Structure 1
Amino acid sequence: MFSNLSAGALGLSLDHPTAVDLAVKHGFGGVDPDLAHFASLGGDAAIAEHAAAVREKGLAWGIAGLPVPLDGPAEAFRTALVELPATLALARAAGVDRMGTWVRPMHEDLDHRQNWRLHLSRLSIVAELLADAGIRLGLEYIGPKTFWSTERFPFIHGIREARELIAESGASNVGLILDSYHWYTAGESADDLAGLTDADIVSVDINDARSDRERDEQQDLDRRLPYATGVIDLEGFADAIAAAGYTGPVKVEPFMKELAEKPVDDVLADVSERIGRFTV
């Protein structure tokens, strides 16, 4: 596995060239791809040249966001599907091989079975398009009870059901985005990660939780930097990820607005050291 700079996940407004330079400066092993920047480069040859330059700096690509709403209105889903091939062409030209999205863990109108069928049908379509482009899709389940309990019908919010959905889709290029925060808030342990392999994991996020809240009181958008509080067993999480033979990116996504108010170099030096503790 390698440390990955995801400026957006840290709440930092960095353009892509700056993010690449800072990733090198602070010892990250990868950086998230910026498909909008790729589109501005003027064609596949220029994109490939840029990607080669990034690799020469010692960086791998992290994960790009999937621009398709798996649970969105039908018209929004259809429109996104029409636009997806152009996005995948950019990713393929750059050698990006991972995209990810999160599964909304509740619905006001669709019950669990209806929502399952919706996700399964859409996931199968999207996964096939990504597979043709040589891209793996990561699904992130969302664990906090304070989120999934806010609408009438709870949906997937733990690893077991997420894996069941992936297995039922039959798609070999779909896996998990594992976030220590969701793993913790879902009440899971290292045992729930046993048996996973590198093929099952597309990306990994590490975060800690507030120490003044019980597990079921934790808020999705109010987290802490990894190892800040010790609430989450990051050592156990790291051991399980390593046992899976995971080789992909590891990033931090704490949703802490105050990070944007600090000097960028200070933030990245700190984050790089924290991820280094996890990936060692």
Structure 2
Amino acid sequence: MERRKFLSNSALALLAAGTMGNGCLKAKTNPARKFKIALNPGIIGVKANLVQTLDYAINYGYETISPFVEEVKQDYSPGQLADLKDKMKANKIGFGSTNLPVAFRKDNRSFLEDFKKLAPFCKTMEKLGATRINTWIISSHNSLTYNENMNQHAYRLGECARVMKDYGIRLGLEYLGTRPLLNQNKYPFISTMKEGKELIAATGQSNVGFVLDSFHWYTANDNKEDILQLKAEDIVVVDINDARKGFSRETQVDLKRELPLSTGVINLKAFMEGLVAIGYDGPIRTEPFNQVLNDMEDDAALQVNKEAINKVLALVNL
């Protein structure tokens, strides 16, 4: 949701025409699949607190939920937290990932003010048993050259990861592959997996990896072979999305995309084969930024989203 505020004035993409059948929504038990189907309700336009999200996950067959860290910090007693964790355990549901709560893209004062709050945030994550935080990297800048931007990102994100490591938390970084973002400011920055690897290495921290989004993998012109060069532990979170028909790879834009397999523009079979081959075992979720989905009633959105994920799993017989 943070990226939507940061980037948008763009209209959101429409879902592909037609409706989806009711099909079985429960996740299949399959020893070949190591990763977990994640529910982040805000991404699909569902308004819910942590308790409601857990109930939705149970009812619709999701396997991880986003940690509502600030809600837990403010509103949950130790007893309530214990009850929540017991319910999650009984239903075999874990925690997925949440956004980095640090303004690392802004001026140094803003960064330092937020950075002071990171340790308490991570302490609550540790109490929850949540182990993943994610953010995204804007692929151009108006005043910082590539090297200047790399140095700033490496230092600030490295410092954040250093704090997270003390609480057993990993940091996922998402490169954005769309060409308009790369060209919208004076100085281009990271927009491919290879460049993302350079930033991850530059942080100097072992608990930093990728948020790998099929949409940006496609728009960056990355491929299955690039995924096969990774280890399972190199990926913290996976997003699966499709792209709009009628647009070239170079003209796709970040906030206009589709649910996976809505259009077939992105080769999700190859994407998933790569993940299965390296044994990725983290959360997998959608991030369609899609107005039609956002406008649905909550139950309908949860069902359509889960059915889309099920279809992607079927591509690799999971």
Scaled to the shorter chain, the TM-score interval is over 0.9
SS state of the match for residue 40, structure 1? helix
> For residue 222 of structure 2, what is the aligned residue in structure 1?
188
Q: Name the SS for the 2:289 alignment partner.
A: coil
The TM-score normalised by the length of structure 2 is: 0.85
Give yes or no for the alignment of 1:215 onto 2:249. yes
Q: CA deviation at 1:278?
A: 2.9
Structure 1 residue 240, shift from structure 2 partner? 0.4
Mapped partners of 1:122, 1:276: distance in 2: 38
Deviation string for 1:165-191 (max 9, x for gaps)?
Answer: 112322110000000000001111111
Aligned to 1:259: 293
Q: 1:40 is aligned with what amino acid? A: Q
SS in 1 for 2:75: coil
Q: Which of 167-176 and 216-225 deviates more? A: 167-176
1:48 positional shift:
4.2
Aligned length: 280
Deviation at 1:55, TM superposition (A): 2.4
Residue 277 of structure 2, aligned match among 240, 243, 248: 243
Q: Which amino acid in structure 2 is aligned with residue 6 of structure 1?
A: N
Aligned partner of 1:276 in structure 2 is 310
How many angstroms does 1:44 deviate by?
4.9
Task: Please say which of residues 185-194 and 42-51 is displaced more in the overlay.
Answer: 42-51
Match of 1:29 among 63, 67, 79: 63
| Secondary structure in structure 2 of the residue aligned to 1:140 | strand
Partner Cα separation in structure 2 for residue 241 and residue 252 of structure 1: 15
Q: What RMSD over aligned residues (CA atoms) do the two structures have, in Å?
A: 1.3
Alignment of 1:155-170 (within 5 A): 155-170=189-204
**1:57 Cα deviation after fit:** 2.1
Matched, 1:114 2:148: yes
Runs of at least 5 residues in structure 1 that lack an aligned partner in the other structure: none
- Encode CA deviations 1:242-270: one digit per residue, 9 max, x unaligned: 11101111100100122122122222112
Matches within 5 A, 1:4-153: 4-44=38-78, 46-153=80-187
Q: What is the rounded CA distance, in whole Å, between the counterparts of 1:140 and 1:24 in structure 2?
A: 28
Of structures 1 and 2, the one with the larger relative CO (CA 8 A, separation 6+) is 2
Whole-Å separation in 2 of the counterparts to 1:228 and 1:196: 27
1: CA distance, partners of 2:185 / 2:45: 27
Q: Which amino acid aligns with 1:104?
A: I
